[in-house]
Structure 1
Amino acid sequence: MSMRTEKIAKAPQKLESAPDKQGSLKQNGLSIIKFCLHTHGKTGSYFLKDHLLLFVKSGIYTVRFGDQEYTVRSNEMVFLHKSIRIDYEKSGEPGSEFKLDYMMFFLNENILEEFVRFSGYKPMYPVNELVPVSIITVSPFTQAYIESLKPYFESPDEVSDGLVRLKFMELLYHLADSNNHFLLELLQPGHNKNSNISKIMEDNFTNPVSISDLAYLSGRSLSTFKRDFQAMYHTSPLKWIRNRRLNEAKKLLLETPLTVTEVCFTTGFENIAHFSKVFKLQFGLPPSEFRLQSHTREDEPGQGEPLS
């Protein structure tokens, strides 16, 4: 999959208006979204606001995180940890007119805490390192559970909020029975306690993250994250991200052939007009004029010649 220059969609919020959505069940931050489309290779990027369990009923869904690639095929499931950016490629099977049929289960922290209290499940040993992406075993019980959701999507308005929550709990029970290590990772408290703030900021400054997302990634409360960040950088996280994005945009304008629109989206800005405005405030010229003037200076006689 090639580098994306489009907006990074924040999931699950942006998925509710996706054209290939067949239906959804929602309750207090929990979402089950069903998709079905015909595609020979559709690519894009997500920033995951919540934990995601993705089940492929038919077709192929490829996920890339960092330098790792994971291929999820028919009747397979992948777990994606919250607060990470992923790139994806969707493809249907050739023998079915390239049909891709899949479901996305978004889990927030509340349902996990409720599951722990309700089930009495306790991790038996600590997990030393978080695995952001992992393939999950799909047992016959889990497959039967997936099939049981069909009538719910056919009449979503008749499904109560409590029943949606109960179906999420049922899914977690199935996974607990067949994937013990997965739940150990998911339920392990403090897995990223006091993580390196500078690395988190460098890894995520182009992603559509909130300050709460960054605090979570660092293993800190929001107030502690802001205090530690201020002590380290002597500015606010929002100002730091804006300046870091602008400096990266300046570099891309000078060193790459990317269009201004591509530079805007690549560096994490979501609006061209806003990007041009803040770029001009920072560097004195709008992006297109800045690039043109920089290239004009380079082409002037005597520019770039060694001093005698």
Structure 2
Amino acid sequence: MKKIVKVPTSLISGPASQSALMLDGGVVIEQCIHSMEAKGTMYLEEHLLLIVLDGTVTLTYGKQEYVVGKNEMILLKKAMAVKYDKVGNPDNDNIYDSLMFSIKDELLKSFLATSDIKIPKIEGEIKTGVYPMNECLVAFAYSLKPYFFDHSTVHPGQLRLKIMELLYDVADGNRNMFLQILQLHEPVRADIRHVVEQHYASPVSLSELAYLSGRSLSSFKRDFQGIYNMTPALWIREKRLEKAKEILETTNMAVADICYSLGFENVSHFSRIFKEHYGQPPSVFRN
């Protein structure tokens, strides 16, 4: 298993500049086109709207699995480790083609402040789902293609307008998807137990866990302490070590793969704290 790729950090620092459109130093839109099956795991540092124009991608996080096909879309929340399996269209030279949009809070705030869209009331949490794209959204996606071939024609103001256009098209074309996007701005207060149990094995920060639970960082720490009678950082470390011990005892997975799959920063750090907790480094413990 490769180390989990962080998105969009890896896109910003990587050499594939022609695959991403940048705004304010960060990736706003990523294009992915290839003719070979691609598998891996990505950790989402931003909320992402994924649009598939050809082929299919299977996304797995936790116990949830979603298959996104041609002219379909899905919204993925940040602070999640998502496994992906991209497969091309056998009727079109095995081409897989998708666009991935970073939904940044500042752009969403700007849209809500300046648009004339009537904001619906959100009642309860709108669950993640795969939704069809209407003709306007499909046409919008293809209108972005020329920008990836000549970056000199892309101006920051123009790119902001394209994101606004995307949000207008989603608001007009798919109410549930739009409600999901609105929840990114004002996350629903969620059960802390559910949030931490679902995400403790991902490379997630406390501030991101707080966001996912619909709380400020200070409120999250206070509520967590009241439930578990320990700090979230200590609880997460112990849970990850328990899971690592279980994997070592029941599988032949390499120590490095266990380290990165559970969200530890590097192998040396993982080995050191594992030894502190169980008295032996992982490799010796397995033997």
> Is the contact between residue 7 and residue 268 of structure 1 (CA under 8 Å) also seen in structure 2?
no
Aligned in 2, Cα 1:284/1:111: closer, same or farther, shift over 3 Å? same
Q: In structure 1, give the amino acid aligned to 2:111.
A: F
| 2:83 maps to which of 87, 103, 112 | 87
CA distance in 2, matches of 1:21, 1:70: 29
- 1:33 maps onto 2:30 in alignment: yes
CA distance in 1, matches of 2:168, 2:29: 16
Q: In structure 2, give the amino acid aligned to 1:79.
A: L
| 1:121 maps to which of 113, 117, 120 | 117
Aligned in 2, Cα 1:91/1:269: closer, same or farther, shift over 3 Å? same
Query: What is the total number of aligned residue pairs between the two structures?
Result: 285
SS in 2 for 1:103: strand
4+ aligned runs moved over 6 Å, structure 1 = 18-21
More deviation in 14-23 or 175-184? Answer: 14-23
Q: Which has the larger radius of gyration?
A: 1
CA distance in 2, matches of 1:66, 1:205: 11
Report Cα offsets for 1:7-46 as digits up to 9, x if no partner: 333322224466877421121355101111121x322222
Structure 1: which 5+ residue stretches go unaligned? 293-308
1:61: which partner in 2?
A: 57
CA distance in 2, matches of 1:274, 1:286: 11
> Is the contact between residue 23 and residue 35 of structure 1 (CA under 8 Å) also seen in structure 2?
yes
| 2:100 maps to which of 104, 110, 131 | 104
How do residues 34-53 of structure 1 correspond to structure 2 at under 5 angstroms? 34-39=31-36, 41-53=37-49
CA distance in 1, matches of 2:108, 2:83: 26
How do residues 1-308 of structure 1 correspond to structure 2 at under 5 angstroms? 5-16=1-12, 22-28=18-24, 29=26, 31-39=28-36, 41-132=37-128, 134-188=129-183, 190-193=186-189, 195-292=190-287
SS in 1 for 2:203: coil
The TM-score with structure 1 as length reference comes to 0.83
Give % identity.
40
More deviation in 139-148 or 66-75? Answer: 66-75
SS in 2 for 1:94: coil
Q: In structure 2, give the amino acid aligned to 1:280.
A: K
The TM-score with structure 2 as length reference comes to 0.88
SS in 1 for 2:19: strand
CA distance in 2, matches of 1:135, 1:31: 21
> Is the contact between residue 54 and residue 79 of structure 1 (CA under 8 Å) also seen in structure 2?
yes
Report Cα offsets for 1:23-77 as digits up to 9, x if no partner: 21121355101111121x3222223222211122222222234444332223332
